[in-house]
Structure formats: C-alpha cells, structure tokens
Amino acid sequence: MSPFFIISMKKKQFTYIIIAVFGFIHSSCSNNNNDLATYRGGSVTRSYLTKHINKSKYKKYSNDEKLSTIQKFSMRKVIYDYSEELIIDKSINNKTKQILNDEKLERVFDYILKKYSVSDSTLDFIYNAELVDYTVQDILVTHRLSFSEHKDRSPQEAFKLASIIRKRIDNNDITFDEAVSIYADHPTVEIRNGMMGPLRYGKLPKELDDIIWQSMPGDINGPLETKFGYHVFHIVKREQRKQPVAKNRKKTLRREIENGRYKLLDHYTDIFAEEWFKIFDIELFIENIDTLWQRAEDLDLFVVPEGVSILRLNEAGYQAPLARINDQMVTVDWFIEQAQQHGNYEQSNFVKAYFLYNTLIDLLRRYSAVMWYDISDDQFNNKKMRQMVLSKQETLLYKHYVAQETKIDSMLTEEMIFNRLALKYNIQVRKDLTLD
C-alpha cells in the first residue's frame, strides 16, 4: 500500500471522528429558542433559515437531512463573518461590493422606469416626424475619442475646426459644397458630396434627429456633437411622405417609445445621470483621457484583436486625474477598482479610444447612481435590499471558500471543511431542528 493511500485512509478516519464529536446535536448550546445553531460570535436562527429554504420541503426532511442543511448554513454564516481571515484571494471583496452595487443600481433604474411616461407633446412631435423625410448635407469632423476615429486630432481640435467651418460658411467665404470638398474626412463623403437621405426620423443619433426635424430647407446647423464627432449640416430637402398612416398609430407609437424606440428612454435616463453629476459635482477630464489612450497605444498595451484591457491601463504609468468627484481627483486606479465592482466591466477591452471614453462615463454614472441611492433612503426598501444582498454575498463567499480549500487539498469534502470550521469557531447545533 502506497504512503499516499495510507494518509488518505487516515484522513477519512479522522473525518469520521470529527463528525462524531462535532457533527452531533447539542441540546443546550443556546438559551435562545430561535437559534438552530451557534458559533463564535453568531448564530443560525429559525427565521434566517426560513428566508433561505423551502419550509414545507424542510419539514419532510429526515433528521440527518435537517442537520446537514443547518450545518451548511452555519458554514455560510461563519465564512461570511470571518471571510477576511478565511479567504486568501482578497479580490473577492470586489465581487461582494459588485453584488451590492448591482442591487442598488437595479432599484435605481426600476425607480426611473416607474416615473417614465411619454408626454402628449412628445408623442405628437414623433407622430408628425414620421410623416416627413429629410435630405441633409453633412460635414463630419472626427477626433480620437469619436466613434469615427481620427487619430491625429483631439476633441478640442475637432470642435475648433467645426466652428471655423461654420463661420466660413456663414461669412460666405465658401459655399457648403466647397466646405465639403475641403474638409470632408472620408473619401466616400466626398463622392456623395456629404449628402444623406432621404432620412426617416429615428435613424440618426437623437441629437441630430431633433434638430433636423425642427428645421427647414436652407437652414445650416452646428457644430453639433454626436458619438461620431462634430457635425455641421445643411438642410437640403423636406418631403412629406405619401404612405397612409396606420390606424391607432399613436397608441402603438406610445408603446414602442416606452419599450425603447427612438432612444427617448435612453435620453430620459441621461437626464437623471446629468442631475447626479451636478449633485456630486462630477467632471470628466477629456484631454487627460485622450492622453491616456495615446500613452497606452505607445506602450503597446494593445493586444490584437481584443484591444486594451481596462485592467492594464495602470501599466501606462499615467497619474494625471481622469475625472473629479466633488473635491476628489480620480485616477486610472480608481476606474480599475470601479470596473471590478460593477457588472462585468472588468472584462472591458477597447479597440479604440471611443470605447474607453464611454466606459469611463458609464462607470461614473453607475457610481453616481449608487451614491444617489445612498442619500435617497425614503425612495427605497433598504431592509429588503440588504437581505437579498447578504444572501447573495454569503452564497458567493461560501462557494469561493469551498473551491479554495478543495483546490489546496483535493481530498477534502464539504463535511471535512465543515468539521474544521466547527473546531475553529465552535459551531454547535441544537437538538430541536424544527422551524415551527
């Protein structure tokens, strides 16, 4: 018999001994009749267990099944209470914060949606806009942080150039056609002379749609910023659509808008985000984000085809602040930390600066939404939220710890892990295992 096998056999024998000593039921471990089990510094109460299991199913369990259930939840609570000393990988703290943040955010956006309604004036505007097509002539000035990327131009330079273009047209220095031929960034735009259309309402970014459908032929607008860059555009033609209007269109239109069509719901949530930014005095430093991206590219942090990982941005060594929250300057490290504490943002990779820029904005919005939740107790059922968060955090830490211990020693079972915890934290189970 190999030495390893002998050791394994001894481990099993030891397990049985421990179960015999600590897995048995104690009749007087607590003076509290609500306690099903106690441990150093805490207990598993009947009311706690009722919140986590099916009560009627539990009643049908054998005593051994009831005991096993209580042992498991004792482990959950012990691991949660003593996670700092039990769990080796401290990054798990980010996962527990993520659970809390995501639950708060879910309630914030539920609150926003409940308040959302489509006004009659908005409905009338879109109803009438659907009956009209526009043709526009567009000059788009792109930059490093825009979706249509121009690597050699900063956002500030793009705005300045767009302003010059508009001024030259207004002063009759050049015609709009000449401006297109001089300033168009893309050959395809030049070929089409900047023409777009006929356009239907809702196909362009909302910022463009709203201005175009309030304009008349001959009007020149801009510079107007969208995700694509800065636009200077000329209204060429306005045409009434000939198709008949469907019956009950306004009724179906209202439903479509409430389900997210025409980006009105996004716009509505943007208004809340803007308010949170004002409350907490949040400012994004666009120039510094632009510099960070250039630094990351220069240092070859870009991995094909994924791009630049948000978790590697600190390798750029850029220490200048990317944003400000109240009087606090926030750096790359802060954004990395927030990415690890919100949703799946830690998996973010950027193939262009535009995606980095928008991710940082999203993280600031999520952070500000959480802060707003924290100062708006009267709007939310915090007790119910805390109970749900606690349950999810306990489950996460329990699974993580069991996986950690079995990775260290593949021979360990959950029973063996429980018995070790029972020894260390004096876990004791009452004789009475009922929930009534």
* CATH of residue 221: 3.10.50.40
Q: Which residue type, as a one-letter code, is found at position 320?
A: A
Assigned domain for 193 exists: yes
pLDDT at residue number 137: 95
Which one has a higher pLDDT value, 65 or 4?
A: 65
**Does the pLDDT of residue 8 top 70, yes or no?**
no
Helix (H) or strand (E) holding 132: strand 132-141
Q: 54 with 138, same domain?
A: no
Among 244, 265, 293, where does a domain finish? Answer: 244
Residues facing residue 284 across a β-bridge: 323
Is residue 248 very low, low, confident or very high in pLDDT (cuts 50, 70, 90)? Answer: confident
Q: What SS3 class is residue 51?
A: helix
Highest mean pLDDT among 113-122, 330-339, 377-386: 330-339
pLDDT at residue number 186: 66
Cβ–Cβ < 8 Å for 211, 150: no
Q: Which residues neighbour 347 within 8 Å (Cβ) at sequence distance 6 or greater?
A: none
Burial class from Cβ neighbours inside 10 Å (0-12, 13-18, 19+) for residue 294 reads: middle
Assigned domain for 8 exists: yes
Q: 83 with 164, same domain?
A: no
Q: 164 with 238, same domain?
A: yes
**Does the pLDDT of residue 28 top 60, yes or no?**
no
Assigned domain for 388 exists: no
pLDDT at residue number 109: 93
Assigned domain for 102 exists: no
Could you tell me what percentage of the chain is helix, strand and coil, using 3-state DSSP and rounding each to the nearest 5?
55, 15, 30
Token output for 81: 């209470």
Phi and psi at 190, nearest 5°, equal -60, -45
Q: Which residues neighbour 273 within 8 Å (Cβ) at sequence distance 6 or greater?
A: 365, 368, 369
Assigned domain for 416 exists: yes
Condensed to tens digits (0 to 9), the pLDDT of residues 77-97 reads 999 999 999 999 999 999 999
**Does the pLDDT of residue 54 top 50, yes or no?**
yes
* 7-25 burial code (b ≥16 CB/10 A, e <16): eeeeeeeebeebbeebbeb
Task: Tell me how far apart the alpha carbons of residues 155 and 286 are, in angstroms, rounded to a whole number.
Answer: 8
Total domains in the fold of the chain: 2
pLDDT at residue number 189: 61
Q: 40 with 136, same domain?
A: no
Residue 137: domain span: 132-244
Q: 182 with 234, same domain?
A: yes
Among 192, 214, 244, where does a domain finish? Answer: 244
Assigned domain for 386 exists: no
Residues facing residue 328 across a β-bridge: 325
Is residue 31 very low, low, confident or very high in pLDDT (cuts 50, 70, 90)? Answer: low
Q: 84 with 156, same domain?
A: no
Q: Which residue type, as a one-letter code, is found at position 252?
A: T
pLDDT at residue number 7: 29
**Does the pLDDT of residue 178 top 60, yes or no?**
yes
Assigned domain for 203 exists: yes
Task: Tell me how far apart the alpha carbons of residues 275 and 283 are, in angstroms, rounded to a whole number.
Answer: 12
Q: 162 with 72, same domain?
A: no
Which one has a higher pLDDT value, 6 or 193?
A: 193
* Average pLDDT taken over every residue of the chain: 89
**Does the pLDDT of residue 237 top 70, yes or no?**
yes
Residues facing residue 132 across a β-bridge: 240
Q: Report the pLDDT averaged over residues 361-384.
A: 92
Assigned domain for 153 exists: yes
Is residue 356 very low, low, confident or very high in pLDDT (cuts 50, 70, 90)? Answer: very high
Among 213, 244, 275, where does a domain finish? Answer: 244
> Can you give 222-278 as a three-state secondary structure string?
EEEEECCEEEEEEEEEEEECCCCCCCCHHHHHHHHHHCCHHHHHHHHHHHHHHHHHH
Q: 215 with 146, same domain?
A: yes
Is residue 300 very low, low, confident or very high in pLDDT (cuts 50, 70, 90)? Answer: confident
pLDDT at residue number 187: 57
Q: Report the pLDDT averaged over residues 150-162.
A: 94
Task: Tell me how far apart the alpha carbons of residues 24 and 434 are, in angstroms, rounded to a whole number.
Answer: 16
**Does the pLDDT of residue 18 top 80, yes or no?**
no
pLDDT at residue number 383: 87
Q: 166 with 220, same domain?
A: yes
Cβ–Cβ < 8 Å for 280, 324: no
Q: 156 with 232, same domain?
A: yes
